[in-house]
Amino acid sequence: MNRIRLALAFALVAAVPTGLAHADEQHATKAKPALSIATLDGKTFDLSAQRGRWVIVNFWATWCSPCIKEMPDISAWVGAHAKEASAIGIAWEDTEREEIDAFVKKHPVSYALAQGDVYNPLPDFEVPRNLPLTYVIAPDGTVAKKFTGPITGDDLDKVVAAGAGK
């Protein structure tokens, strides 16, 4: 009986990594991701409607100090490049909407914000494992750069300059 239990335990352990790898593959970021999400102000942010512009897709959380530090930089950069760029900040945390709203009042930004559903990940983006996580989407809709960790306006300028030279 112990041999059967041991064999079953090994079979279960061996199956877990395969299942996890498959789940990760399903949530890998697509080359041209789609995104349509309700914003905190009741509108809809649709990534496909932004074609022809640079778009910053930033995953953040109210408890994430590097996220809070980078938000003014993203806001200033988007404000300075409003004709050719936009952004969406997605709160990636399991918290009440009232807490997000209170945070936004203390930390206003010039770009759209939304609350992601951590139990129903966005199908075209990988599940954020570290925050902040930022994607810079090129005007053609492809992912130009992915950043794990905080970013600055200079980081964004470099990505845009590299993309403009193509």
Residue 13 has pLDDT above 60, yes or no: no
Q: Where are the domains of the chain?
A: 30-164
Q: Which CATH superfamily is domain 30-164 in?
A: Glutaredoxin (3.40.30.10)
Q: What is the pLDDT of residues 26-47, one digit of tens each?
A: 446 788 999 999 999 999 999 9
pLDDT over threshold 70, residue 64: yes
Q: Which of 100, 75, 101 is nearest to 88 (CA)?
A: 75
Q: Is the pLDDT of residue 166 over 60?
A: no
Count of residues in the chain: 166
Check pLDDT > 50 for residue 15. no
Q: Tell me the pLDDT of the chain averaged across its residues.
A: 86
pLDDT at 165: 63
pLDDT confidence band for 23 (50 / 70 / 90): very low
Q: How confident is the model at residue 17 (pLDDT cuts 50, 70, 90)?
A: very low
Three-state SS at 96: coil
pLDDT at residue 5 in the model: 40
Adjacent-strand bridge partners of 85: 54
- What number is the average pLDDT over the span 89-108? 96
Q: What digits encode the pLDDT tens for the residues 101-148? A: 999 999 999 999 999 999 999 999 999 999 999 999 999 999 999 999
For residue 7, pLDDT beyond 70: no
